[in-house]
A and B are shown apart, each in its own frame.
Chain A
Amino acid sequence: NAGVTQTPKFQVLKTGQSMTLQCAQDMNHNSMYWYRQDPGMGLRLIYYSASEGTTDKGEVPNGYNVSRLNKREFSLRLESAAPSQTSVYFCASRRGVSTDTQYFGPGTRLTVL
């Protein structure tokens, strides 16, 4: 089992460019999540998908869109990147009930110039 995989690992963008961060899990989990991690801020939830076919906003959704492509894949899109979106992005998944563990990917380090 690969667990949760993310691509790319690193990315540098110029302001205004767009990109999509990819996430896939092979654990047959129902729920998937996108977080950003900034120094001193902990993890902040951007979007989540409680189950295939549904997506909901988290704490900091502005400037992002998501697609739950199927049960395995959950992508995060930046339509017009801004320097404030420089961060480390983590995808996570879990089976679905509140007692379940979240499993995290290795992260994507994004720099917007």
Chain B
Amino acid sequence: GDSVTQMEGPVTLSEEAFLTINCTYTATGYPSLFWYVQYPGEGLQLLLKATKADDKGSNKGFEATYRKETTSFHLEKGSVQVSDSAVYFCALSVASGTYKYIFGTGTRLKVLA
């Protein structure tokens, strides 16, 4: 069945370090791919998305490219800030009759000043 696998955390970085959070997926059909972010005590909110192969989603300095050949959607940021500390979720949505989302287990990022 459809699934999302993302790297386990927690990930701890110093401010201004480079961030990569890996995400790979298994899906039938042609999924849309998403990264969501959850700040402490809040619900999830969309960070970026890509709806077809080779699309690059970007927002707030974060980027991810939809790679069909490697079934991946890795999240990157060139220089993290303390305010980026949060839990990041990779997700996919397949255009079936159910329109369900499949979420990864989340990766906690902690950025130290």
Contacts and interface: CB of A to CB of B under 8 A. Distances in A.
A78 to B, nearest CB: 20
A58 B100 CA distance: 9
Interface in B17-50: 31-32, 34, 36, 42-46, 49
Contact of A43 (B31, B34, B45, B89): B89
Nearest to A33: B101
Interface of B: 31-32, 34, 36, 42-46, 49, 51, 89, 93-101, 103-106
Tell me the dominant secondary structure on chain B's binding face: loop
Contacts, number: 60
A84 interface: no
Contacts of B98: 48, 50, 56
Interface of A: 4, 31, 33, 40-43, 45, 48, 50, 56, 58, 90, 92, 94, 96-107
A102 B101 contact: yes
A33 B43 CA distance: 13
